[in-house]
């Protein structure tokens, strides 16, 4: 947590310095300035996401998508922050924009498809969510968070053995995934297995 707070202070200082130096950099094309500024805002947003400060993360990603509206991953990050704030309809629009922009990257598409599954699960569209999680796994089978998210959707459907398979796979890929350990233990308590 201290590391994240220190990182946020550094990023805030970078943003301030960037604003001060913008006059000096007026000779640079606007798109280059916007790209650099968007990178700083994106880094700050990711840190806020990691420490569960979703409103602050959303503010950062709003800045990123305004500065660089063609960056698909930023739309995905914005969608995730909105979903964590339970603003699922807005999140769905953003993740769809991300999918539209990420046509050339399986990695980015997999992340966006997984996010869409998470959002659809939040909207109660659980079967459709499972399809998106599965497609994300096909594109990126080594990412434990995709198995974890699919497992959480199976739990909502009370499909506990499928959920356990997903959590076990997540833990196989990353034995330190605390969220998967916790979710797996919760399922074991429910099912008395």
Lowest-pLDDT range of 12-16, 85-89, 141-145: 12-16
| DSSP structural state of residue 28 | S
- State the pTM of this model: 0.82
Residue 95 CB neighbours (<10 A) = 31
- Containing structural domain, residue 159: 142-193
In a domain, 17, yes or no: no
pLDDT digits (tens, 9 = 90+) for 115-131: 999 999 999 999 999 99
Full DSSP string of 88-127:
HHHHHHHHHHHHHH-TT-HHHHHHHHHHHHHHHHHTT-HH
The mean per-residue pLDDT over the stretch 12-24 comes to 57
Cα separations (Å) of 151 from 91, 109, 145?
Answer: 21, 20, 10
In a domain, 159, yes or no: yes
Q: What pLDDT is stored for residue 31 in this prediction? A: 60
In a domain, 186, yes or no: yes
How many domains does one find in the chain? 1
Q: What pLDDT is stored for residue 12 in this prediction? A: 64
Query: Which CATH number does the domain housing residue 181 bear?
Result: 1.25.40
In a domain, 98, yes or no: no
| 144-156 and 126-139 helices, crossing angle to 10° | 160
Per the document, the length of the chain is 193
Q: Are the beta carbons of 47 and 11 closer than 8 angstroms?
A: yes
Check whether 162 has a pLDDT greater than 80.
yes
Rounded to a whole number of angstroms, the distance between the first and last alpha carbons of the chain is 35
In a domain, 193, yes or no: yes
Cα separations (Å) of 96 from 45, 77, 133, 185?
Answer: 20, 12, 15, 33
Report d(CA 37, CA 19) in Å as an integer. Answer: 9
Q: What pLDDT is stored for residue 70 in this prediction? A: 87
User: Mean of the per-residue pLDDT values for the chain?
Assistant: 87
Q: Are the beta carbons of 170 and 147 closer than 8 angstroms?
A: yes
Check whether 45 has a pLDDT greater than 80.
yes
Q: What pLDDT is stored for residue 29 in this prediction? A: 47
Residue 104 CB neighbours (<10 A) = 8
Check whether 110 has a pLDDT greater than 50.
yes
In a domain, 41, yes or no: no
In a domain, 85, yes or no: no
In a domain, 190, yes or no: yes
Closest CA to 170 of 189, 190, 154: 154
Q: Are the beta carbons of 77 and 46 closer than 8 angstroms?
A: yes
């Amino acid at each position: 947590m201290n590391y994240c707070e220190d990182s946020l202070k550094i990023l805030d200082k970078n943003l301030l310095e960037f604003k001060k130096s913008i006059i000096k950099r007026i000779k640079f094309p606007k798109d280059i300035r916007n790209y650099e500024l968007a990178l700083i805002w994106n880094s700050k947003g990711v840190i806020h996401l990691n420490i569960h400060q979703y409103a602050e993360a959303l503010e950062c990603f709003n800045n990123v998508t305004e500065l660089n509206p063609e960056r698909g991953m930023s739309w995905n990050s914005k969608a995730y922050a909105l979903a964590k704030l339970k603003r699922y309809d807005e999140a769905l629009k953003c993740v769809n924009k991300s999918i539209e922009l990420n046509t050339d990257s399986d990695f980015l598409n997999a992340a966006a498809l997984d996010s869409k599954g998470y959002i659809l699960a939040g909207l109660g569209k659980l079967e459709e969510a499972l399809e998106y999680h599965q497609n994300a796994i096909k594109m990126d089978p080594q990412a434990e968070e995709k198995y974890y998210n699919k497992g959480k959707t199976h739990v909502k459907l009370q499909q506990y053995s499928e959920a356990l398979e997903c959590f076990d796979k997540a833990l196989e890929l990353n034995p330190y995934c605390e969220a998967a350990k916790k979710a797996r233990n919760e399922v074991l308590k429910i099912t008395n297995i």
